[in-house]
A and B are shown apart, each in its own frame.
Chain A
Amino acid sequence: MTTLTNKPLTKNIEIGRAPFTFAQYQAAGGYQSVGKALAMKPRDLMKLVQDSGLGGRGGAGFNTGLKWSFIPEPDGGPRYLVVNADEMEPGTFKDRLLMEHDPHLLVEGMITASIALQATMSYIFLRGEYKEAEAALLKAIAEAYEAGMLGQHIAGSTFSLDMAVHTSAGRYICGEETALINALEGKRANPRFKPPFPQVSGLWGRPTLVNNVETICNIPGIVSHGVDWFKALGINGQSGTRISGVSGRVKRPGCWEMPVGTTFRTVIEEYAGGMQDGYALKAFLPGGGSTDFLMPEHLDLPMIPGDVAKAGSRLGTSLLMVLDDKTCPIGCVHNLIKFFAHESCGWCTPCRDGLPWVEHILLKLERGEGTLKDIDILKEACGYMAPGNTFCALAPGAAEPLQSALKYFMDEFVEHVNHGCKYQRH
């Protein structure tokens, strides 16, 4: 009996060697899921993915199969699958790894997902700066066409599918799924009003599913090896594996595939080797720049969306960033807010005008020119940017590191009012 892999996302990845070609990937067990999917009813396939417990890896964690199930029955017109490969969340570096080092896994996942969704066309919406990923994906797609896995009547079936890569040109908001759809249509990437949801009316008004790269990379394993296998991969009651990692002043910054449900402590202390000598962990962002800080007392939490939410944050992309004791938390938040202010699409006032205002106040505080009233204004601004007050989740996300810094580091904000920033500049 052959044992099935417990690292379905990274089993083919070996940094330093070229990614597998179609033939190598297939020889390693790849493209099995396509045949299995073609032999199933699309709704059964969606149900299988739903039962696996796979949650979206783009940040929100919504059950993928359930998200798919909202797509209407085919009416003969075009239907789209769009993979969100716009990875720009500060501190996030997982999709890049998957695309550069095993592009066929994503291509296989997209074909199998398209069979479930009865999609006629699939796009990869790729961050323009990811040149190596672009080259790897274009090569993998060309090989898949040549092998008859894409194009007319794939793998000898009645199902046909095309695939193309769209490279973007640098705007964080394009990662928001309705803004992404506008960008793909060639428009300015302002988000769209929901409802209607993209599953019903997305790209050019047609049924469209937008999924993260890592989400889709999970599909081949689930369909090839089944729900029980996938469920057994997780720990602490979770299914599957995911890519988590750490940046900042740890001994071994990096990202690794691990069981869903692994604790923050395991990632920071075991995978990343703990803090560098001379630095202590002060706080960490659990899943990208748009998540609330967590504190050392939260280290033993499993990385499960619900548990992290109870602690007052979000799991987000599950790429951790550690804040050490020699780095200014106000400077850190200032850097994040500067990013969000720059990337605001400009549609709503709290975001377009509020973020530059917050940025200005943080700069004043760092220079020792701030007042206690400024701190009150920061708190107020977090309220204006709260969920529901803006058109999309960019502004609420931007408020998360700020509101949590105000919660945990208020004494340092006040210290900045009195004396400016005392931390040494790097």
Chain B
Amino acid sequence: MSNLIASTAPKARKLTPEEIHDIEHEKTHYPYAQAVGLEALKIVQKYQGWVSDESLLAVADYLELPPDELEGVATFFNMIFRRPVGKNVILLCDSVACWMLGCDGLKAHITKRLGIEYGQTTADNLFTLIPVPCLGACDKAPVMMIGNDTHRNLTPATIDALIDACQARG
């Protein structure tokens, strides 16, 4: 029997032992598996950089959740990446305090330096630029994150230095 859809549709991959270990740890905090759906997606993203269809299906399988429901969660949250991103995700705050202190100019500076707009990734896969709502450091605006680190009181010069450091690491 031919089944064209099934042969081309993405299939669940196997979760890695590290992913399974971390998901199992999260499960100990909740009475129901569904509650760790988002945590599991974040775990996969931590190891793989983003959440592919194959990863999403794997998590759904593992937690015995309907894939559509998990996809509904994945697409609801700003910080779950359903497309590949660069090695360094730049989250530039564009909320009101940072706006008042010139984040639009900083965005233009980054775009000029790296040649990417919001939502884009550099050709060398080193950087993805994404706007982020208020990072809760408004007294030190303008602010952005690269990966897990928050950087405050930004100027074009400090941004250049941060980008240089990422490029030097490769």
| A-contacting residues, B75-102, CB 8 Å | 76-80, 91, 94-97, 99-102
- Interface readout for A178-212 with B: 1 if CB under 8 Å, 0 if not? 00000111111100000000000000100000000
Task: Answer whether A253 and B139 are a contact pair too, CB < 8 Å, given A91-B95, A335-B96.
Answer: yes
Once the chains bind, are A90 and B134 in contact (CB under 8 Å)? yes
User: Which residues of A lie under 8 Å from residue B96 when comparing CB positions?
Assistant: 90-91, 285, 289, 321, 332, 335-336, 339
Distance between Cα atoms of A164 and B29 in the complex (Å): 6
Q: Which residue on B lies nearest to A134, using beta carbons? A: B148
Once the chains bind, are B77 and A171 in contact (CB under 8 Å)? yes
The contact of B31 among A78, A167, A324, by CB within 8 Å, is A78
Once the chains bind, are A332 and B73 in contact (CB under 8 Å)? no
Once the chains bind, are A87 and B73 in contact (CB under 8 Å)? no
Number of interface residues of B (CB under 8 A): 44
Task: Answer whether A319 and B38 are a contact pair too, CB < 8 Å, given A78-B31, A247-B97, A332-B99.
Answer: no
Q: A: which residues have CB within 8 A of B?
A: 78, 87-93, 95-96, 123, 127-132, 162, 164, 166-172, 183-189, 204, 245-249, 253-255, 285, 289, 319, 321, 323-324, 327, 331-332, 335-336, 338-339, 342-343, 425-426
User: Which residues of B lie under 8 Å from residue A343 when comparing CB positions?
Assistant: 133
Distance between Cα atoms of A253 and B97 in the complex (Å): 11
Distance between Cα atoms of A96 and B78 in the complex (Å): 20
Once the chains bind, are A90 and B73 in contact (CB under 8 Å)? no
Q: Which residue on A lies nearest to B35, using beta carbons? A: A186
Would you call B114 an interface residue if the criterion is a C-beta within 8 Å of the partner chain's C-beta atoms? Answer: no
Distance between Cα atoms of A338 and B35 in the complex (Å): 30
User: Which residues of A lie under 8 Å from residue B148 when comparing CB positions?
Assistant: 131
Q: B: which residues have CB within 8 A of A?
A: 29-32, 34-39, 41-42, 72-73, 76-80, 91, 94-97, 99-102, 104-105, 132-141, 145, 148-150
Distance between Cα atoms of A170 and B35 in the complex (Å): 17
Once the chains bind, are B76 and A321 in contact (CB under 8 Å)? no
Once the chains bind, are B104 and A426 in contact (CB under 8 Å)? yes
Once the chains bind, are A426 and B101 in contact (CB under 8 Å)? yes
20 contacts between A and B (CB under 8 A): A88-B136, A92-B138, A93-B136, A129-B91, A129-B150, A132-B150, A167-B42, A169-B78, A169-B79, A170-B133, A171-B78, A185-B32, A185-B34, A185-B35, A186-B38, A186-B73, A247-B138, A319-B138, A323-B100, A335-B95
Using A91-B138, A335-B96 as known contacts, list a sample of 4 further A-B pairs with CB atoms less than 8 Å apart, ordered by residue number in A.
Answer: A78-B31, A87-B136, A132-B150, A426-B104
The contact of B80 among A132, A169, A245, A319, by CB within 8 Å, is A169
The contact of A171 among B34, B36, B76, B91, by CB within 8 Å, is B76
The contact of A425 among B39, B79, B104, B133, by CB within 8 Å, is B104
Once the chains bind, are B39 and A93 in contact (CB under 8 Å)? no
User: Which residues of B lie under 8 Å from residue A128 when comparing CB positions?
Assistant: 42, 79
Distance between Cα atoms of A338 and B133 in the complex (Å): 10
Q: Which residue on B lies nearest to A334, using beta carbons? A: B99
Distance between Cα atoms of A425 and B68 in the complex (Å): 44
User: Which residues of A lie under 8 Å from residue B38 when comparing CB positions?
Assistant: 168-169, 183, 186
